[in-house]
Amino acid sequence: MIERCCKRVILRPEHLVPADKRFEVIGVFNPGAAQCGGRDVLLVRVAERPCETRPGLLALPRYELSGDAVIDWFPTAEWDLTDSRVVRRRSDGLARLTSISHLRVFRAGDDDGASWTEGQSFLPDAPEEEFGAEDPRVTEIQGRFWITYVAVSRHGAATSLASTDDFETFVRHGVIFCPENKDVVLFPAQIDGQYAALHRPTGGSRFSSPEIWLARSPDLFHWGRHEPVLSGCAPWEAGRVGSGPPPIRVENGWLAVYHGAGDPRAPGSVGEYCAGAVLLDHCDPSRVLRRSPEPIMRPTADFERTGFVGDVVFPTGLIERGDKLRMYYGSADSNIGSVEFCREELLASLC
Amino acid sequence: MIERCCKRVILRPEHLVPADKRFEVIGVFNPGAAQCGGRDVLLVRVAERPCETRPGLLALPRYELSGDAVIDWFPTAEWDLTDSRVVRRRSDGLARLTSISHLRVFRAGDDDGASWTEGQSFLPDAPEEEFGAEDPRVTEIQGRFWITYVAVSRHGAATSLASTDDFETFVRHGVIFCPENKDVVLFPAQIDGQYAALHRPTGGSRFSSPEIWLARSPDLFHWGRHEPVLSGCAPWEAGRVGSGPPPIRVENGWLAVYHGAGDPRAPGSVGEYCAGAVLLDHCDPSRVLRRSPEPIMRPTADFERTGFVGDVVFPTGLIERGDKLRMYYGSADSNIGSVEFCREELLASLC
């Protein structure tokens, strides 16, 4: 574990007002990050849930096409509440989320990221975003910022694309990876004449645990040439892996930080989400050159261990600052933390 | 149900010799169909399983990159054999297939499809086809035949693309839809300047039952603009839907035949796979104009009711013959049947 001691929480739910006054903010986490106008900009996920409670009834929120949030009330007894995030109707297994998420811009007020100014909100208003927009990643490509985010609806969890020049106005480009696909990150440059993305298809057939795949595109909108890249090998990542921030170019290839979680069925699994790193081949990023033998970061701080979902560090933004890498990450599905790594130390730890 | 009485079986496993003499053919089914040289050509799925048995051991076949089939032997007690097609290792839920499939060409000897001559085999030889190539669909686009087929491996069930001019030699174009995605069919013409496909992503999150989606492509190799098209509404299709043969152009839109199965958890579900039909908008095939209120075909014949998986009709090929539509389909995951519909009668039955 090579995390630096300057790990700290920078945004908490209590710093935000909800987009809808009938809701409360329960999480601000999993931020995409970029540099815009010389300062760090975060595009964060804001999760909200209805404030009102009614005896014997379960409040399940969703967005209408107008962008307004609505609350559906169901008899609680009809639902399996084992997972506090995703409940399932007992009669048919149908899943619904207990919270809805939108995206919001925060701009750093200084170089240190000690103060943040709130900017625009990106509110779900498409049918495929009925249950929310989640977990954005931001990649700057040829001067424009491209945002991949999870669009959740009755049709499943897909990944959509949006773009912006300034984080003031956004253009939606629709679903680029169909359900179930999350943790889609774009490479910042073309490789061999094509754009590239890491993605994380999640099948229902259990031929494998979730794996990170590579895809290629002529235009960022249409994707193909799908190839598996890596699966979880070590116990801490055997249950689940997914890309974190967009890969960055380093001398010998592409450095990609990802998250991993243990297989909950494995003996002794602690179920925590950790961060790992992998070096991918410069010319063929489906080739893994080296990877971290153990997590580069584990949930150890209070704000990582306790929250809506405890014991989670979920890296989603990475900013290069000289010989340092500043990583922004979601902690415990509740807060946003930042941490700095020494680039060379991180690279040297891969084997 | 508007099926015609000329339903008949045209190919059975006993008509074929296995590709590997250590194996036996257990199914010839789910044929892609095209017209080539004035005659119907089928590209069929051939499923084989190891002949040898060993006490207390389970034989699980796979292909090596050389294209040779190999058999892995495991203690039977370590596996859950509830599903005779897909077994699961008790320790970690890992799935393996009990048979492996390749594709094989059959050419009709006459107009009636009464006799068939065997042609080339398309044998798995790519990493993503380790557990086989399955369920091909064939679409003729601008004089070339494009084949979408399921590529199954330890990475899941993806859909790959191949093409041929003559069904003698084939070119592979790699994975076009990542796992889990099956039942991918290409439209025979561009729509609004782009190629189009129906596909069936299968998520693990149970926000919905499997649905048929539409995607668009500039080149057949890269796909985007994903949109949901239809889900199973009626009880007979509430558990699962997936496209059948490639859609055909009719006066008012695109006619697409699909398969549906009931939700096994629903009271009174009979679990059979039936065929339905849908009319999609000519300009925007994500729009459903009309659909069959009840199955256009159910498994009723002996060869549809009894086999490796009983009570299955699985349409995969459709040939236009004047005012008739000849449909080729897999029956009971064992045989190939054909049936004719009157085009106008079928269209008139949609509402």
Q: What pLDDT, on a 0 to 100 scale, did the predictor assign at position A3?
A: 60
Q: How far is B58 from chain A (nearest CA, A)?
A: 17
Q: Which of B95, B206, B226 sits opposite A158 (nearest CB)?
A: B226
Asked whether the predicted pLDDT for residue A37 surpasses 60, the reply is yes
Give the distance from residue B43's alpha carbon to the nearest chain A alpha carbon, in angstroms: 24
pLDDT band at A71 (very low <50, low <70, confident <90, very high): very high
| Helix, strand, coil percentages for chain A (3-state, nearest 5) | 5, 55, 40
Query: Has residue B60 been placed in a domain?
Result: yes
Does any domain span residue A1? no
How far A154 CA lies from chain B's nearest CA (Å)? 5
Task: With a cut of 70, say whether residue A4 has pLDDT above it.
Answer: no
Nearest CA in chain A to B218: A222
- Is A339's pLDDT higher than 60? yes
The arithmetic mean of pLDDT across residues A245-265, rounded, is 93
In a domain, B202, yes or no: yes
Using only C-alpha atoms, chain A has a radius of gyration, in whole angstroms, of: 19
pLDDT truncated to tens, each residue of chain B (351 aa)? 666 557 899 999 999 999 999 999 999 999 999 999 899 999 999 999 999 999 999 999 999 988 899 999 999 999 999 988 899 999 888 899 999 999 999 999 988 888 999 999 999 999 999 999 999 999 999 999 999 999 999 999 999 999 999 999 999 999 999 999 999 999 999 999 999 999 999 866 677 778 999 999 999 999 999 999 999 989 999 889 999 999 999 998 999 999 999 987 777 677 899 999 999 999 999 999 999 999 999 999 999 999 999 999 999 999 999 999 999 999 999 999 999 999 999 999 999
Residue B148 lies in a domain: yes
Interface test with A, best of B207, B216, B231, B243 (most A CBs within 10 A): B207
Taking the CA of residue A27 as centre, how many other CA atoms within 13 Å lie in the half-sphere pointing to its CB?
28
CB contact under 8 A, B226 and A176: yes
Q: How confident is the model at residue A113 (pLDDT cuts 50, 70, 90)?
A: confident
Asked whether the beta carbons of residue A207 and residue B94 sit closer than 8 angstroms, the reply is: yes
Determine the structural domain holding residue A235 and report its residue range: 6-348
A23 in Cβ contact with A46 (< 8 Å): no
Tell me the C-alpha distance between A76 and A220, whole Å.
Answer: 43
A222 and B205: CB-CB below 8 Å?
no
The answer to the question of residue A311 being in a domain is: yes
**From the list A199, A204, A227, which residue is nearest B204 (CB)?**
A204
Instruction: Give domain status of residue A44, yes or no.
Output: yes
Evaluate whether A166 touches A184 at the Cβ level (below 8 Å).
no
A313 within a domain of the structure (yes/no): yes
Q: Are B80 and B93 in contact (CB under 8 A)?
A: no
Please judge whether A205 and B94 are an interchain contact, meaning their C-beta atoms are less than 8 angstroms apart. no
What totals of helices (H) and strands (E) does chain A contain, helices first?
2, 26
Give the residues across from B141 on adjacent strands: B144
Choose the mutation target among B96, B100, B178 for the interface with A, i.e. most A CBs under 10 Å. B178
Q: Is the pLDDT of residue A232 over 70?
A: yes
For residue A112, the model assigns a pLDDT of 83
Do A130 and A154 meet the contact criterion of CB atoms below 8 Å apart? yes
Burial bucket for residue B56 (CB in 10 Å: 0-12, 13-18, 19+) = exposed
Question: pLDDT averaged over chain A?
Answer: 94
From A320's Cα to the closest Cα of chain B, the distance in A is: 31
pLDDT bin (cut points 50, 70, 90) of residue A203 is low
* B185–chain A nearest CA distance, Å: 16
Domain count for chain A: 1
Question: Is B1 part of a structural domain of the chain?
Answer: no
Q: Give the residue-averaged pLDDT of A6-15.
A: 92
B13, β-bridge pairs:
none
pLDDT at B67: 86
Give B135-153 pLDDT, tens digit per residue: 999 999 999 999 999 999 9
Give the pLDDT score at B5. 56
CA distance A302 to A316: 20
Query: In this predicted model, what pLDDT tens digit does every residue of B274-321 receive, in sequence order?
Result: 999 999 999 999 999 999 999 999 999 999 999 999 999 999 999 999
Average of per-residue pLDDT values in chain B: 94
Residue type, A303: F
Q: What percent of chain A has pLDDT over 90?
A: 86
Assess whether pLDDT exceeds 80 at residue A270.
Answer: no
Say which of A156, A213, A217 has its CB closest to residue B205.
Answer: A156
Q: Which residues of A touch B180 (CB under 8 A)?
A: 201, 203-205
Domain at A86, CATH number = 2.115.10.20
